[in-house]
Structure 1
């Protein structure tokens, strides 16, 4: 069952993101004193009293939008009223109402049967009851729930009201087995430099406009999650802010928090989709970003977006494919997809590549196949001599998945050179399984040969004669 959506709306700087973070129990939305920090929809999952639901944080609504972005934000929020099971209309419980509150109230009147009016920043309860609360009734939504998200006051009462509403209207989605759910859903982080089309690609995949798209670099600030099912497979797509060079980001800035969110999105994903601007080609920053994914053991897919704008497509495609081994040699196992988010080109191929990369990251292989390949590789490329001794490999085994991890038992585990380690990785991909889209990690442990392990050892020794 799809979880009911609880939409948080209100004017700027009334503490919507703080309330969102408090409800879901983690600091997911960016919180800052400046109004208008949140630009995109931010999704979070939570449960209360056995009932699970999705909470959606939104940007502040401005009565008189001063820019294209503010107007677009407002339009997206108002479009979401229909699909929300419940709307939390957040107002300032400390300073009272403004014309923007009445403007928002007018736009919610049609949905008043599913609106809960929440007065945030009401930590001074006596003042709220005497000076502020009577005014709030003029909005026309009945009872008011005073809370202080910052000080964690009355949040449980708000959660009770949310759950009571969902149960009363039969909109509940009870918690499923967590392990089963996590295995079914492929978590995908869409990453890249600013303005390469990540949000447009995100919207093309999920089929509805959720991420704010404009020509202004850095429009996305938060990481945006959205669950979707495609031909029976569930995905959780995460659109992220563009990752810039550290030298261009000032400490304590909103952009710094956005970068932190993007890195966290990579860390909690299964597959990372790196979006490259096909008009600009691969940059040093692209290599840094995909390097983060590989270091953290994530599967990856490389997307060249804006393909509809490229001239001499066949020639350009050959150039990109030939440059992968040079520029992205450390992730040359990643599938390459050419897309146009604007025209929805390549979306099916991208989804297929994501699924293949995820399968590779979860794949296990037989120990016998691995050791047969190791024997074959050592016969062709004998290990080097270190400290006056020949490095010997006795056997190998896969010990982990997500990502695949292989242990090689050897007499000199700390002396296997980098080039030979890479050779062993290539051996696995060439002789056992290509593990398309997934990194593979190697470990080396000290071991002495036993009778059962003597087969590989004996053939290694015979290959040296």
Structure 2
């Protein structure tokens, strides 16, 4: 698929344009320069043609700290892979030395550049005061747009399609999604999510620094391993609510991470093995379970602990993460590369479990044996009966049981049903099991 890169100095509307093109708030938008810290990918569909668009970090002319330097390096790494670069400038306030420096950089890269002037709400002012300086960038006539007013976006899309010489495609985004397993890498800040993400895909897609909260956007990458396609999503770290001010960039990042979990098939909960399971890890695990997502528990940074500590971490799962104890456990290290291939194989296994269907006959035979050993309870003087059950859905596997008093079935008996399904029919490793009960009509 052809790739279009959006570049420019900070705060010229790159993320706003990205969101407009992909049709949603995929990138975080704020008036503070440098909000986008990670490259964010999206698919654009226009006139039966599709291309990939990448919202990059802002290019600072003189990076002031480790984060701005890392943002600069990440953006530069994408230029060699781009089929087209949209160079965004401020059509309202004009050209600065930062724009000139970026123009010099793009010319040296010898790539196709389409110059785009954003924030052109006043065309007359733009033509008189800004356009002459824009020509100095050396990329010819700019396309003037206004993202906020959706002005000339259709013309911009037509131009992109023309430059890329895109042919109409038949396959839809929904069909493509069905051919990929979507994985969200989640956890607290600074547990090594981005390092693990970069190691798996073999690219420096996420910024990696020792500063907690470096990743702000949920970014993704399609990766193929053993003829199986994975779409990995590296999310921002999820901190305690009390530690995050509302309506801040970080709060938006956390909301984006929660949405990434909702869209994922498999959530990989990454825990810092040097710290162990914390209350925040428990809350994230609870969120994964409530959303009905398949899950894998990963203890990262195991190169920093000994074997005795590993055994303690294993035993702590039964106490602190008992509600997702069906999740496979993997120890990983991006330093020694331990556990990386095992993680990919486990994701495939868990996804197959998440989409598994079992025969109705096997289900009812197992439940009958269970009821012979553990009869249905009597609640409030009423004898509860289970007549039969069937699997009605996947992602997660969902089972519907018919009963005379469905509302009276206690949680303890529901746990017994889940245990019977796992132990007698199929273990469903990594997948939650949802149960529904209905009165027989």
Report the TM-score, using the length of structure 2 for normalisation. Answer: 0.98
Deviations 1:413-458 (A, max 9, x none): 000001111111111101111000110100011127xxxxxxxxxx
Does residue 151 of the first structure (1) align with residue 153 of the second (2)?
A: no
Partner of 1:415: 408
State the partner residue of 1:363: 356
Aligned to 1:461: none
Indicate the larger mover: 18-27 or 387-396: 387-396
C-alpha displacement of 1:140 = 0.7
Task: Work out the CA distance in 1 between the residues paired with 2:143 and 2:108.
Answer: 21
Q: Give the aligned partner of residue 35 of structure 1.
A: 33
Q: Report the equivalent of 1:460.
A: none
Residue 47 of structure 2 contacts residue 168 of structure 2 at CA under 8 Å; is this kept in 1?
no
- Assess, with a 3 A threshold, how the Cα gap between structure 1 residues 261 and 175 changes in structure 2: closer, same or farther: farther
Distance 1:164 1:391 in 2: 67
Distance in 1 between residues matched to 2:97 and 2:411, nearest whole Å: 66
- Confirm whether residue 217 of structure 1 aligns to residue 212 of structure 2: yes
Q: Could you tell me whether the CA contact under 8 Å between 2:3 and 2:51 is conserved in 1?
A: yes
Aligned with residue 51 of structure 2, among 50, 53, 76: 53
The 8 Å contact of residues 122 and 147 in structure 1, kept in 2 or not, is answered as: yes
Cα distance between partner residues in 1 of 2:174 and 2:53: 21
Aligned partners of 2:167 and 2:86: how far apart in 1? 17
Structure 2's unaligned 5+ residue stretches are none
Q: Deviation at 1:383?
A: 1.3
Q: Is the 8 A contact 1:194 1:243 kept in 2?
A: yes
Q: 2:335 aligns with which of 337, 342, 364?
A: 342
Answer yes or no: is the 8 Å Cα contact 1:306–1:339 preserved in 2: yes
Q: Which whole-Å CA distance do the structure 2 matches of 1:178 and 1:442 have between them?
A: 31
- Does the 8 Å CA contact 1:200/1:342 hold for their aligned counterparts? no
Structure 2 residue 225 is matched with structure 1 residue 230: yes
Distance across 2 between alignment mates of 1:174 and 1:331:
41
What are the superposed Cα offsets for residues 145-168 of structure 1, whole Å, 9 maximum, x if unpaired? 01111111111111111111111x
Gaps of 5+ in 1: 449-465
Matches within 5 A, 1:257-272: 257-272=252-267
1:441 aligned to 431, 434, 439, which one? Answer: 434
Shift of 1:45: 1.0
Counterpart for residue 455 of structure 1: none
Query: 2:15·2:28 contact (CA, 8 Å) conserved in 1?
Result: yes
Separation in structure 1 between the aligned mates of residue 380 and residue 195 of structure 2, nearest angstrom:
56
Name the residue aligned to 2:321: 328
Shift of 1:143: 2.0
Contact map agreement 2:83 2:111 (CA 8 A) in 1? no
CA–CA separation in structure 2 for the residues paired with 1:53 and 1:179: 15
Q: Is residue 280 of structure 2 the alignment partner of residue 285 of structure 1?
A: yes
Partners of 2:379 and 2:168 in 1: how far apart?
Answer: 61
SS of 1:66's equivalent?
coil
* Aligned mate of 2:188, from 189, 193, 199: 193
Q: Deviations over 1:154-210 (max 9, x none)?
A: 11111111111111xxx6583414443222101100000000000000001111111
- SS where residue 80 of structure 1 aligns? helix
Question: SS at the partner of 1:443?
Answer: strand
Scaled by the length of structure 1, what TM-score is found?
Answer: 0.93
Match 2:112 to one of 108, 111, 114: 114
Contact kept in structure 2, 1:241 and 1:259, CA below 8 Å: yes
Please provide the CA RMSD for this pair.
1.2
- C-alpha distance in 1 between matches for 2:69 and 2:373: 65
- C-alpha distance in structure 2 between counterparts of 1:291 and 1:205, whole Å: 26
Aligned-pair CA distance for 1:268: 0.6
- Given that 1:4 and 1:172 are in contact with CA atoms closer than 8 Å, whether structure 2 keeps it comes out as no
| Native 8 Å contact 2:2 2:51 kept in 1 | yes
Within 2, Cα distance between the matches of 1:13 and 1:282? 39
CA–CA distance in structure 2, aligned partners of residues 241 and 178 of structure 1: 25
SS in 2 for 1:158: helix
Shift of 1:112: 4.9
Cα distance between partner residues in 1 of 2:382 and 2:28: 56
Question: Equivalents in 2 of 1:439, 1:275: separation in Å?
Answer: 18
Alignment match, 1:134: 132
Choose 134-143 or 317-326, whichever is displaced more: 317-326
Kept in 2: contact 1:137–1:143 (CA 8 A): yes
2:102 is the counterpart of 1:104: yes
**Other-structure match for 1:166:** 164
Runs of 4+ aligned residues of structure 1 deviating over 4 Å after TM superposition are none
- Within a 5 Å distance, the mapping from 1:347-426 to structure 2 comes to 347-426=340-419
Q: Quote how far apart the aligned CAs of 1:343 are.
A: 3.0
Contact 1:52 1:175 in 2 (8 A): no
CA shift at 1:111, angstroms?
A: 4.0
Q: Deviations over 1:114-153 (max 9, x none)?
A: 1100101111111111111121111111121011111111
Count of matched residue pairs: 441
Write the distance in 2 (CA, Å) between the matches of 1:65 and 1:225. Answer: 25
73, 80, 87: which one aligns with 1:89: 87
Q: Distance in 1 between matches of 2:359 and 2:111?
A: 59
